[in-house]
A and B are shown apart, each in its own frame.
Chain A
Amino acid sequence: MKKKKLDWVTVGFLSPAFVFFVLFIIVPAIASVYYSFTSWDGVSPDVKFIGIRNYVEIFTSKRFYNALKNTVILTVFISLFENFFALVLALLVDHVFRLKNLFRSIFYIPVILSGIVSGFIWKTIYNYNFGVINSILGAMGKDGMKKDWIGDPKLALIMVGIVLVWKGAGYYMIIYLASLQGVPTDLIEAAKIDGANPWQIFRSITVPLISGAFTINFTLSLINGLKVFDQISVMTDGGPGFATETIVYLLYKVGFGEGRQGYGTAVGIVLLFLIILLNAVQQKFLKSREVQL
């Protein structure tokens, strides 16, 4: 069925999807490259071309470096812990002797909540006066350990990170689980007969054989970590101060809050380059460790 020439039927089948994709993603994406070189405010019709001034401002502003730092901390935190928990959950679900499916379903439940809902629930859990954590600490008589979990600039970012790990781990668990089920049992049996202990089996057989899942999950969790928005908006609004302002949040704030959409778009372009860069580094690092059976 391999054809060389494009015929009208193919065009007819593919063009609706193609038109939507180009019109509502590619065209605005290309336009944003242009707007990133302007002082556009999003409202007025005159758009002034100002060359690379937006980019110069980005790389000389403290606010951007703060956002970059927050983004890196949050993304690394999320990727590491999401993958750690996802792997632990997958191994547990794979080995538990009863109720496998029920456990798998439960671990996935946070994934189906919206960012706003999960953020709100945890905002109340973290609440200083009537939050769950402080109430438990109070009931245990440990009032000294009570904290304003998301009101404290030192804690806020990690507290938001915890919510994201809770919400995301189940998704990556599904991918690890599928990968674990692809590990041939005869290989593990053979290792057992040879006297390998569970840790050796895990280290030398399971890990290399699920390395494909590591690549996928780290790539996905890093990209998703860079794009976190909903939870920050409902839990902290970038605050206290700028303690939880990430690049995406900075972009949104300058674009809509301060009416500087040209500058905001330039921040978006920087974000895209960051995504591409991270992806390339990661692919190189993890792909080289993959083992094909």
Chain B
Amino acid sequence: MAKETKIRVRERVRVSDIILFILTLCLAVLFVIPVVFAFISAFKTNGEILANPLSLPAKWSLANFFDLFQRTDFFTATWHSLFLTIVSEILIIFIVPMGAYAIERRSTKVTRMIYTFFLAGMMIPFHLYMFPLFKEMKLFGIYGKLSGPICCYIAGSVAFGSLLYCSFLKGVPLEIEEAARIDGCGPFQTFWQVVFPLLGPCTASMIVLNGLGIWNDFLMPYLVLPSDRAKTINVEVYAFVGQFTARWDLIFAGTVISMVPALIIYVLLQKYFVKGITAGAAKG
């Protein structure tokens, strides 16, 4: 019996399915090749990269990575990237869901206006206001410090975050909150102990999408952080392209260090990327 069904399933595969599969496979290979190329190059010596970009390394060694951390201040850059991403995300997850909760659950004319105001703000390109922003940061004494970009990342996450959390909150039943209130929970406690845990998938989407944006950001740390030491991974890679035009091996090692954490998070938390994008698009 089992054998028979198996055969039947196999018979259903049509020629058109095979053609479609091969076509998809070819496109997938084309899409992933540049990334694979970067990974392979990170293990090659500079001579090998220059001699033949298509070859595999003669010896797979981590020499480029050791060199990178010894010869340059890449450790500081990695630390800055991590610090900016993690601290910003913690503060964002503390600030943004509360705001969205107020907009969605304690809706008044004013909160609805503020929500519209947030969404309209999404249209303003960063480049438009960056010059006055840096002047303002100098005024506040956060220019040249890590807290400068962090404040801007929080501000930049408000609009998209409110959109995401508001659309998710619509699907959270009100009864639970009402029960918590009747049991004597204050609004703050109700939110953090009852509602927030229910927003888990939304928070995950927010962290992966927003965190990736911060991890990958270039212009803000490039312009705001002091230039007497390494800034972030991306800024260092950019600086290397200008500086060490003769050491492509080191730059490739740097790009791999930028890509690996993002790829790991992506592989582990893929569905939250998809959920976040579709939820954002449905409302945007």
A124 to B39: give the CA distance in the assembly, Å.
13
A97 to B20: give the CA distance in the assembly, Å.
8
Q: Which of A2, A28, A175, A255 contacts B136 (CB 8 A)?
A: A28
A10 to B111: give the CA distance in the assembly, Å.
9
Closest B residue to A256 by CB, please name it: B223
Pairwise interchain contact B237-A13, C-beta atoms closer than 8 A: no
A113 to B37: give the CA distance in the assembly, Å.
14
Pairwise interchain contact B133-A28, C-beta atoms closer than 8 A: yes
Pairwise interchain contact A261-B131, C-beta atoms closer than 8 A: yes
Interfacial residues, chain A to chain B (CB-CB below 8 A): 1-7, 9-10, 12-14, 16-18, 20-21, 23-29, 31-32, 35, 40, 42, 88-89, 92-93, 95-98, 103, 105-110, 112-118, 120-125, 129-132, 135-136, 139, 166, 170-171, 174-175, 178, 213, 216-217, 219-220, 223, 226-227, 229-230, 233-234, 248, 251-252, 255-256, 261, 264-265, 268-269, 271-272, 275-276, 279
Pairwise interchain contact A32-B131, C-beta atoms closer than 8 A: yes
Pairwise interchain contact B238-A7, C-beta atoms closer than 8 A: no
CB neighbours of B183 from chain A (8 A): none
* Chain B 138-177 interface mask (CB, 8 Å, partner A; 1/0): 0000000000000110111011011000000000001000
Pairwise interchain contact A115-B216, C-beta atoms closer than 8 A: yes
With contact pairs A25-B155, A234-B241 given, residues A216 and B17 touching in the complex (Cβ less than 8 Å): no
Pairwise interchain contact A265-B99, C-beta atoms closer than 8 A: no
Pairwise interchain contact A26-B121, C-beta atoms closer than 8 A: yes
CB neighbours of A178 from chain B (8 A): 274, 278, 281
Pairwise interchain contact A103-B238, C-beta atoms closer than 8 A: no
Pairwise interchain contact A233-B238, C-beta atoms closer than 8 A: yes
Pairwise interchain contact A1-B105, C-beta atoms closer than 8 A: yes
Q: Which of A28, A112, A170 contacts B262 (CB 8 A)?
A: A112
Pairwise interchain contact B35-A121, C-beta atoms closer than 8 A: yes
The residues in B between 212 and 230 inclusive whose CB is less than 8 angstroms from any CB of A are 212, 215-219, 223
The residues in B between 97 and 115 inclusive whose CB is less than 8 angstroms from any CB of A are 98-103, 105-111, 114
Pairwise interchain contact B127-A18, C-beta atoms closer than 8 A: no
Q: Which of B223, B251, B258 contacts A114 (CB 8 A)?
A: B258
* 30 A-B residue pairings within 8 Å (CB atoms): A3-B107, A9-B188, A10-B111, A14-B114, A16-B99, A17-B99, A21-B121, A23-B155, A24-B151, A28-B132, A29-B132, A31-B132, A31-B135, A89-B27, A107-B31, A110-B31, A112-B212, A113-B216, A115-B216, A116-B216, A125-B34, A130-B51, A132-B54, A178-B274, A178-B281, A229-B219, A248-B125, A265-B132, A271-B127, A275-B125
CB neighbours of A275 from chain B (8 A): 123, 125
Closest A residue to B22 by CB, please name it: A96
Closest B residue to A35 by CB, please name it: B132
* Chain B 34-55 interface mask (CB, 8 Å, partner A; 1/0): 1101100100000001111110
Closest A residue to B277 by CB, please name it: A174
CB of B137, distance to nearest CB on chain A (Å): 9
Q: Which of B100, B131, B174, B278 contacts A174 (CB 8 A)?
A: B278
CB neighbours of A213 from chain B (8 A): 281
Interface centre among B52, B99, B125, B161 (most CB of A within 10 A): B125
Closest A residue to B161 by CB, please name it: A17
CB of A221, distance to nearest CB on chain B (Å): 12
Q: Which of B23, B50, B95, B263 contacts A17 (CB 8 A)?
A: B95
Pairwise interchain contact A24-B152, C-beta atoms closer than 8 A: yes
CB of B148, distance to nearest CB on chain A (Å): 10
* Chain B 1-44 interface mask (CB, 8 Å, partner A; 1/0): 00000000000010001001101100110011011011001000
CB of A212, distance to nearest CB on chain B (Å): 9
